Amino acid sequence: MEVTIKSLQETHLANVFKWLTDPFVAENIGLRREPSESYTKEWFENAKHGNGIWAFAICCEDTHVGNVVLDNFDGYLGTIRLSVYIGDESFRGKGVAGKAINIALGHAFHEIKVNKVWLIVHEKNQGAFKLYKNIGFQIEGKLREAFVFQGKLIDVFYMSMLKKECLLLDEV
């Protein structure tokens, strides 16, 4: 299955809003407010104008199935945060996220020219945790009770990959 990422466009916003209203997606990304079309559009406008945000649509055979975002850019330290989700549940568990992450890592390390890509993943999201480990992300630490999941505080893992560690695997 061919996976590509392309700059998020206004035409993708209906899917983004729909996925943010999915409890599975909302809980796993830690959405803190009720999604709204106006907030989704506001976030998109910020991303579109730079501001240290690179937002991409994940596409399989030209079908928008999820998003990968690079944000929290720190030019002085050369770091950026990675976030990813597959919104279309029929594409979850099929290797799509891993392929999209590898493409995004290439963008982060070679286009934006950061030295470190970091992320957080909560302890209940074992599928994502295993994926990040398989790609080569290292655990830097555990942030205790730093995420709300199903109304309870749970731990998250802070993980990262340095440019020199990135193998940009074709298959994950």
| Complete DSSP assignment for 14-51 | HHHHHHHTSHHHHHHHT--S---HHHHHHHHHHHHT-T
* β-strand partners of 156: 122, 143
Is 171's pLDDT higher than 60?
Answer: no
What are the backbone dihedrals phi and psi of residue 5, each rounded to the nearest 5 degrees, phi first?
-125, 145
Q: What is the residue extent of each domain of the chain?
A: 3-165
Q: Is the pLDDT of residue 170 over 70?
A: no
Question: 3-165: which CATH architecture?
Answer: 3-Layer(aba) Sandwich (3.40)
Q: Which has the higher per-residue pLDDT, 50 or 4? A: 4
Which residue from 83, 73, 157, 85 is spatially nearest to 115, judged by alpha carbons? 73
Mean pLDDT, residues 100-120 taken together? 97
Question: In the predicted model, is pLDDT for residue 103 greater than 70?
Answer: yes
Question: pLDDT value at position 47?
Answer: 84
Could you read off the pLDDT of 113-168 as tens digits, one per residue?
999 999 999 999 999 999 999 999 999 999 999 999 999 999 999 999 999 998 76
Q: Which residues lie below 8 Å from residue 31, measured CB to CB, with a gap of 6+?
A: 20, 25
Q: Are strands 79-86 and 116-122 parallel, antiparallel or unpaired?
A: parallel
In the prediction, which pLDDT does 169 show? 44
Tens digit of pLDDT for each residue in 43-98? 888 888 877 899 999 999 889 999 999 999 999 999 999 999 999 999 999 999 99
